[in-house]
Amino acid sequence: VKYPDCLCFAADIISTVEFNYSGELLATGDKGGRVVIFQHEQESKNRPHLRGEYNVYSTFQSHEPEFDYLKSLEIEEKINKIRWLPQQNAAHFLLSTNDKTIKLWKISERDKRAEGYNLKDEDGRLRDPFRITSLRVPVLMPMDLMVEASPRRIFANAHTYHINSISVNSDHETYLSADDLRINLWHLEITDRSFNIVDIKPANMEELTEVITAAECHPHQCNVFVYSSSKGTIRLCDMRAAALCDRHSKFFEEPEDPSSRSFFSEIISSISDVKFSHSGRYMMTRDYLSVKVWDLNMENRPVETYQVHEYLRSKLCSLYENDCIFDKFECCWNGSDSAIMTGSYNNFFRMFDRNTRRDITLEASRESSKPRATLKPRKVSTGGKRKKDEISVDSLDFNKKILHTAWHPKENVIAVAATNNLYIFQDKIN
Amino acid sequence: MFTKGTKRKFSDPGEEPASSGDPGPAAPSAAARTLSSSYSLQRQSLLDMSLIKLQLCHMLVEPNLCRSVLIANTVRQIQEEMTQDGTWHIMTQALAAAQCPADRLVATEVLCRQTDAAAQAGQSPKPFSVVGLQEGYHSEEVVMEGDVETEVTMSSLSPLSPQLSSASYLTGPFEVGPCWEEEDEEEDHSESSEPSLMSEHSRHPALEELFSDVDPSYYDLDTVLTGTPKMGPYDLLESLSSHGPTALSSSSSCRSDLNELDHIMEIIVGS
C-alpha cells in the first residue's frame, strides 16, 4: 500500500510514521500538516490475500501554517511527531505536533444515523410543531462508515524552541514534550498549563553548546524519562527526585575513541533518536553512523553497537558541505525487542537481529518492490572492486533518505517512509 | 551526487592524504610539510564552509538550532586548534595586511549605537570595526524585525572613502550593549582594522541591490572567532535562532530600548 504517489508535492513529504498500540492503525504525518491513518484489513475468508494490506482509514489536516508576527517568522505546519494514546473506548486518540503546538485528536467511527425525528424532516428541515399529530421514537439505521477526526485539545504556547519529541507516559494521563532546550510535562486534560521539567537554556545564549535532540518516557515507570543531546549523551531522569529534573539520575556516554577524532566527531555523535525497548530494560540511540543499544544499568558504554553505513565515514566533509550530516534518522524496535531497524540513504534501510548478529540492507523503491515480491538484499561496495549487484558509495543518492520507519508492535510488518512514499512490508515467514 | 564544493575532502593527519588529491611528497621532511600544509588548507576550507553555513541561515522559517549549535562548535574547535598551533595569529595578521578591493564587503561587525561607533572610531581600531572608519561614517542600529534579542547594523561608508564603496551588512545580529562595548576594549584591538569580509544574505528588499556586487568569498574570521567570549559564534547562534526570549539574557538587558519599528523605518528610509 502506498501513498498516492502520482503527484510529488513537497507537502507530501512524510515526516513521521507511527503504529498504534495494537498495530491495527498506522498514522503518517507530512510536511503539509496532514495526517493520514491507514487501517489493517480484517481477515476475510473470501479474500484471504487481503490480510496484511493497509488502506486509508482517515485523512485530516492537523496543523496549518502560522505566522509569528512578533518575530516575522513562519511556523511550519510540518508534523514532527505523532504518538498514539492507548485505546480506552471505541474511539482512537493521537497526539500530533508541529514545531510549536501539540494537538490531541479523536478519531471515531460513525456507521449509524438516527432517522425518524419528530421535529425535523428527513432532509433536516424543521417541521411545524403544530402539524405534529403523533410522536415516534427515532431509530438508528446503518449508514456508510464515516471516520471523523476532531481536535479535542490544543496544547499551545509552551515552547519557545522547536518541538522535537512527544511521548505519552505509562500512566496514560500525562505526556512530555521536548524542544531544543526544554522539556515540559502535560496533563492530557489540561491545556493552559504545563510543568517545565528540564531546562538547559543557559543564562547567556552565547554559552550554548548543547541542545536536546530527543526525549521519551519509560514504557513502564511513569516517573522515569530520558533525553538525548547533540553531544551524544543521554540523561535519565526521575521525576520523583525534584520538580525540575536538571540533575540527572543516570548519565550515559560512551568514551570517545581518540584515534578516530576529527572535526566532525561531535556532529556525528549527536543523537537523533532515542527509544526504549518494549521491555523497558534497554534503550536504543541513533547517531549519524551507528545505532547503539544501552542497558539502563550500565552508563559508561552501550552493550551493542551496530554500524549503519560506516562507508560514509570517509565522506564526512562532503556530507557536511551538503548538510546531509545533519539528517536526523530514527530507529525502532520490533515487538519482541529482538531486532532493530533504521534508515539510510539511497532509500536503503537496515535491520539488525540482536540475537544472531546478522544484518540486512533493503531498498524501498518502486522498482524493487512489486506487490507480493520478496525484497532483495542490497549491498554497498566499499572497496575498489564492485561486485555485480553492489552499488558503489559514490552512486548513492543522498536525496533519497529514509528517516522514518516503524515496526508493528506485534507482527512482522514494517512501515518505511521514503520521501513522499510510504512502503509497508510484511514478513511472510511467520 | 554531492553538491559542488571543495575539492579536497577533509581528512585527519592520521588518515591517508591521497583522497585530498595532493601530490605525493618526495622526502620525509617534505612529506611532513606537505601533510601539514594540506591539513591546514583543509582546516581552513572547513572553517570557511562553516562560516558560510552559519551566515546563510536566514530564511522565512526559524533556523534549526541544533544545526547551528553543531556548526558553531565546529568553528570553535577549529579556532582553538589554530590558536594552539599559532596559525590563528598568523592568519589574522595576513588578513590585516591584505589589500582591500573596492567591491568587497567590508566589516562584519556588530556595533553598538551610532555614538559608540563614532567614539570608537577615533580610538584604537578594533577587529570588528568597519574598515577605514572616518568622518562620515554612519552606522545604524536595526532590530531584526520582531526579534527582540538581535540587532543588525548597517554601515554605509562615506563617499569620501575611495576604497569602500559598498555598504556592509551584517546578517548575524549580535548582542550589543554597554557590556559589549567593554569587551571591545580588550587586547584584540591591537590588530589594525582590516578588510574583514563576510558573506551576506539580505532579507530586506531595499538592501538587496546594495549587495549585488558583493563577493561572498571572503569572511571575517575575526568577527566570528576572535576570542572575547561575548563575540563568539554564539552571537550568531543567538541571532540565527531568532527566538524571542522568554527570559532576557544579561547582555540584552544592557541593550538599547529604542523602538524596533523606528529602527526598521530608518533602514527603509535609508537615512
What are B104-135's pLDDT values in tens digits? 343 333 333 333 333 434 433 333 222 222 33
* Mean pLDDT for back-to-back runs of 10 residues, chain A (430 residues): 35 92 96 95 66 85 93 92 96 97 97 88 84 90 93 96 98 97 97 96 94 98 97 96 86 92 95 98 98 97 97 95 97 97 97 95 81 79 78 93 97 92 76
Asked, for residue B41, whether it belongs to a domain, the answer is yes
From the candidates A263, A322, A346, which should be mutated to test the interface with B, based on the most B CB atoms within 10 A?
A263
Q: Considering the domain boundaries, does residue B59 fall inside one?
A: yes
The minimal CB distance from A263 to the residues B9, B46, B247 is found for B46
B15, B62, B237 ranked by CB distance to A205: nearest: B237
| Structural domain contains residue B197 | no
Residues in B touching A320 (Cβ below 8 Å): 10, 46, 49
B85 inside domain? yes
A206–B245 CB contact, under 8 Å: no
Domain contains B271 = no
User: A318 and B5 in contact by Cβ < 8 A?
Assistant: yes
- pLDDT value, residue B249: 37
Instruction: Kindly determine whether residue A180 and residue B65, on different chains, have CB atoms separated by under 8 Å.
Output: yes
Higher pLDDT: B136 or B72? It is B72
Q: Tell me, what's the pLDDT at B88?
A: 81
> Which pLDDT score, from 0 to 100, does residue B126 have?
31
Q: Kindly determine whether residue B73 and residue A209, on different chains, have CB atoms separated by under 8 Å.
A: yes
State the pLDDT at residue A339. Answer: 97
Give the pLDDT of residue A7.
Answer: 32
- Taking each continuous run of H as one helix and of E as one strand, the counts in chain A are 2, 31
Positive or negative torsion for Cα A113, A114, A117, A119: negative
Q: Which domain holds residue B63?
A: 32-114
- Terminal-to-terminal C-alpha distance of chain A: 20
- Chain A nearest-CA residue for B16: A314
In a domain, B63, yes or no: yes
DSSP string, chain B: -PPS--SSPP--TTS-GGGGTPPPPSSHHHHHHHHHHHHHHHHHHHHHHHHHHHHTT--SBPP-HHHHHHHHHHHHHHHHHHHHHTHHHHHHHHHHHS---TTS---------HHHHHHHHHSS--TTSPTT--TT-EEEEEEPTT-TT-EEEEEE--TT-SS--S-EE-SS----SHHHHHHHTSGGGGSPP-----------HHHHGGGTT--TT---HHHHHSS-GGGSHHHHHHHHHTPPPSS--TTGGGS----HHHHHHHHHHT-
Q: Which strands sit side by side in the sheet containing A250-252, from one edge to the other?
A: A212-217, A224-229, A234-238, A250-252
Give me the number of domains chain B comprises.
1
- Distance, in Å, from the CA atom of B92 to the CA atom of B108, rounded to the nearest integer, reads 14
At residue B187 the predicted structure's pLDDT band, cuts being 50, 70 and 90, is very low
- Confidence (pTM): 0.70
Cell of B102: 573596492
Most confident of A49-58, A225-234, B2-11, B217-226: A225-234
Q: What is the pLDDT of residue A207?
A: 93
pLDDT confidence band for B205 (50 / 70 / 90): very low
Residue B236 lies in a domain: no
| Average pLDDT of the segment spanning B251-270 | 56
Binned at pLDDT 50, 70 and 90, residue B263 comes out as: low
Provide the pLDDT for residue A389: 82
Return the half-sphere exposure (C-beta side, CA atoms, 13 A cut-off) of residue B234: 19
Asked if the structure places residue B150 within a domain, the reply is no
Chain A nearest-CA residue for B8: A317
* pLDDT for B144 beyond 90: no
